């Protein structure tokens, strides 16, 4: 009898361990061949090696699996568990999401000074999601053009945007057109747009450099790419699973200095590809940067009188 119990127990043990392992379905709102996705896949590989018996991440794919602007809704509704996206892509879930481009301090500092806690309060309440961490930093956005400009005036120009750039480029008089990253090349190729917004890095990933003549300096804001998870899924994990996931995301955040070097490399690479820079005199440059931030904050506050002012206070450098 005793022997029998031993055998049963031995057979059951691995089954229990297996039952405790959870697999999360992960998607990316950015195209499959982007550097963001390559780095995500590398991280997932390491995660799965460490997470055996506790948690595994199953990368489903990019916009071919779920279209860029649907990813946020999919996380909110639990169609997928987790995603790599940016706030600009899920303003259709709640408008505050796009404000993360305006943070003026590193994410490590945001963790210490309560900014991440505030973000999670809003993301939980309005998005039914938990904000796990920011895995891209130090990537200012730029305006890329195929027509030369002498001053910050985009009247008569059609520019590809996402919510990131809408208020700023509109304030400069541009006609704006929203597209997912996956449609930028075709829009440029067909001459549907005269330019586009994008961070300093990444224009080579999908050959946009072939269709780009100018980059306007300086950059503005900071590209925010992050990992989000459905709130119910997050709350349903065991303490051990939550701890593993949060710890691994924070470790990955710790590698964000990579993006500083990448910004320098991509700047050089653009010059080598023949992309000319357009810059303005000091006073115009200052006005350009001020217009970028003033127009964006006005937009955030208009869309969210509830959280906009507090976000501005928290996100702006003292
Ligand atoms: O331009 C975009 O598609 C965009 O909004 C974005 C946001 C973060 C990183 C890269 C692009």
Give the integer Cα–Cα distance in Å for 119 and 6: 50
Residue where the block lists tokens 């931030």:
293
- Global pTM value: 0.93
Which atom of ligand 1 is found nearest the CA of 198? 1
Strand segments, DSSP code E, in the chain are 22-28, 55-61, 82-85, 129-136, 141-145, 158-161, 175-178, 195-199, 214-220, 225-230, 276-278
The strand pair at 22-28 and 158-161 is best described as unpaired
Ligand 1 atom nearest 163 alpha carbon: 5
Q: Which ranges in 100-202 belong to alpha helices (H)?
A: 107-112, 115-127, 163-171, 184-189
Segment 101-117, tens digit of pLDDT: 999 999 999 999 999 99
Ligand 1 pocket residue status of 225, Cβ below 6 Å:
yes
How many angstroms separate the alpha carbon of residue 222 from the centre of ligand 1?
Answer: 10
Q: Rg of the chain over CA atoms, in angstroms?
A: 22
**Which tens digits make up the pLDDT trace of 172-225?**
999 999 999 999 999 999 999 999 999 999 999 999 999 999 999 999 999 999
Contact 87, 51 (CB under 8 A): no
How far is Cα 312 from Cα 302, in angstroms, rounded to an integer? 12
Ligand 1 atom 8 nearest Cα: 223
Mean residue pLDDT of the chain comes to 95
Q: Is 63 in the pocket of ligand 1 (CB under 6 A)?
A: no
What is d(CA 252, CA 22) in angstroms, rounded to the nearest whole number? 21
Instruction: Kindly give the number of the ligand 1 atom that is closest to the alpha carbon of 136.
Output: 9
pLDDT at 294: 98
Q: Provide, rounded to the nearest whole percent, the portion of the chain with pLDDT above 70.
A: 94
88: Cβ below 6 Å to ligand 1?
Answer: yes
Task: Output the CA 199–ligand 1 centroid distance in Å.
Answer: 7
């Amino acid at each position: 009898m005793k022997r029998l119990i031993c055998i049963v127990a031995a057979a059951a043990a691995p089954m229990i361990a297996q039952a405790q392992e959870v697999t999360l379905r992960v998607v990316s709102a950015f195209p499959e061949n982007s550097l963001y996705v390559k780095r995500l896949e590398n991280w997932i590989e390491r995660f799965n090696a460490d997470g055996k018996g506790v948690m595994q991440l199953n990368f489903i794919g990019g916009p071919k699996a779920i279209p860029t602007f649907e990813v946020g809704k999919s996380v909110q509704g639990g169609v997928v568990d987790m995603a790599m996206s940016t706030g600009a892509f899920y303003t259709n879930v709640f408008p505050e999401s796009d404000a993360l481009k305006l943070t003026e301090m590193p994410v490590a500092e945001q963790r210490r000074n309560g900014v991440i806690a505030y973000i999670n309060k809003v993301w939980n309440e309005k998005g039914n999601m938990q904000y796990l961490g920011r895995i891209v930093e130090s990537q200012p956005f730029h305006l890329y053009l195929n027509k030369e400009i002498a001053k910050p005036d985009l009247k008569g120009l059609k520019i590809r945007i996402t919510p990131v750039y809408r208020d700023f480029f509109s304030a400069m008089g541009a006609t704006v057109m929203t597209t997912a990253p996956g449609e930028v090349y075709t829009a440029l190729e067909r001459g549907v747009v005269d330019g586009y917004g994008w961070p300093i890095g990444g224009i080579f990933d999908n050959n946009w450099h072939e269709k780009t003549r100018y980059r306007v300096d300086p950059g503005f804001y900071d590209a925010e790419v992050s990992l989000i998870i459905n709130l119910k899924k997050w709350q349903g994990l065991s303490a051990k699973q939550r701890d593993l996931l949060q710890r691994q995301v924070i470790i990955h955040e710790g590698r964000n200095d990579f993006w500083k070097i990448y910004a320098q490399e991509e700047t050089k690479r653009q010059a080598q590809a023949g992309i000319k820079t357009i810059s303005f005199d000091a006073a115009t440059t200052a006005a350009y940067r001020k217009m970028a931030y003033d127009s964006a904050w006005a937009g955030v506050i208009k869309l969210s009188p509830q959280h906009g002012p507090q976000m501005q206070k928290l996100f702006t450098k003292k």
